[in-house]
Structure 1
Amino acid sequence: MEAAAKRGRNGGRPSVVDDDKRPASLARHAEGQALREIHRGVGVSLAVVHGVVAAARSTETAEETV
């Protein structure tokens, strides 16, 4: 792994959510859209939308405790 990292190669699958899809998903969620509607509209899986929303909630919670 270290040799690969030195060559600039990182393991793992590339993220499906790019810089456009994450804010779009969160904005739709803030408007009150259902997660299923968001996943159909943005073009990612329902599990990905759940992950994006959960990550945003955990970030908000962490910021509130600081």
Structure 2
Amino acid sequence: MNGLEAARKRGRVGGRPPVVDDDKRAAILARRERGESIRTIATGVKVSIGVVHKTLTDAKTKDT
């Protein structure tokens, strides 16, 4: 068993914690629904443009 497997068995998960929580996700989706640009949303929610793109793409994938 390697280190990552042992950590998972103990309930530990590696990697960086997600930047977008449920509140930020809802804000991003609502602002995009109102027609705001991705750049404006990113500035308002204080996340990167890439995070906004990923959140919108993930939401679109889940809806389909």
TM-score between the two structures when normalised by the length of structure 1 = 0.87
> Residue 13 of structure 1 corresponds to which residue in structure 2?
16
Task: Read off the aligned partner of 1:56 and give its amino acid letter.
Answer: A
Q: Distance in 1 between matches of 2:20 and 2:63?
A: 19
Pick aligned residue for 1:46 from 27, 35, 49: 49
Deviation per CA, 1:11-64, whole angstroms, max 9, x where unpaired? Answer: 111100011100000000001000000000000000000000011111112xxx
Counterpart CA distance in 2 for 1:28 and 1:11 is 31
Show structure 2 runs of 5+ residues with no match: none
Distance 2:36 2:60 in 1: 16
Code of the aligned partner of 2:21: D
Look up the equivalent residue of 1:57 and give its one-letter code. K
Give identity over the alignment, percent.
Answer: 56
**Equivalent residue pairs, number:** 61
Q: Find runs of 4+ consecutive structure 1 residues off by over 2 angstroms.
A: none
Question: What root-mean-square deviation, in Å, do the aligned CA atoms of Structure 1 and Structure 2 show?
Answer: 0.8
* Structure 1: gaps of 5 or more residues: 62-66
Q: Which deviates further from its counterpart, 6-15 or 28-37?
A: 6-15
CA distance in 2, matches of 1:13, 1:6: 19
